[in-house]
Amino acid sequence: MPPYFFKPGEKVDTAAYYKVLRYLCYLCSSLHTPPNYTWTQDGAHHQESPGFLSCQHGRFLARRHVSNSSPDLNSLDFLFGALGRVMPARLSHKFDVATASHCRGLGQLDRGVYQEDCASVRRRVEAVSANNGGHIE
């Protein structure tokens, strides 16, 4: 997905987040993502990792131009938290067994969990916007 840079002095509010999500993220994911691709997020954001910062910043990007990727806006974090409550404490290291276990766990979740997770995205975007970006706790 191509990066999105906000203009200097541009107010990044809820409308700006939704604009990027709707017109850039969704478009790129729907056009360029194969059907069997899964979006995930690990704990380290690529643009904040020491390796990325040491080799990229100063060459073509100033640090202030790299957007913060707030985990508060990642709905997968919340869904995986709910999934962890219905999953066994210890998973198999075999891929097919672990995959089957995850599918059973997702099937055990109530539809309301999915609806609440999707609905909470708007609240999180508004909270991050009110906090002028960054992480919310």
| Residue 109 located in a structural domain | yes
Residues 63 and 100 in one domain: no
Q: Is residue 95 part of a domain?
A: yes
29 lies in the same domain as 78: no
Same domain assignment for residues 124 and 103: yes
Give residue 19's pLDDT: 74
Number of structural domains, the chain? 2
pTM metric for this prediction: 0.34
> Which of 80, 82, 77, 86 lies closest to 105 in space, CA to CA?
86
Q: Are residues 20 and 75 in the same domain?
A: no
Structure confidence by residue, pLDDT tens digits, 19-30: 777 666 655 555
- Mean residue pLDDT across the chain: 62
Residues 105-129 pLDDT 10s: 777 777 777 677 767 766 777 776 6
Indicate if 2 and 57 belong to the same structural domain: yes
pLDDT at res. 44: 41
Examine the domain organization and report whether 97 and 119 are in the same domain: yes
Question: What is the per-residue burial (b if ≥16 Cβ within 10 Å, else e) of 71-105?
Answer: ebbbbeebbeebbeeebeeeeeeeeeeeeeeeeeb
Same domain, 132 and 119: yes
Domain check: are 5 and 27 in the same one? yes
Say if residue 63 is in the same domain as residue 121: no
Q: Name the residue range of residue 13's domain.
A: 1-34+47-67
Of the spans 31-40, 49-58, 82-91, which averages the highest pLDDT?
82-91
Rg value, the chain, Cα: 18
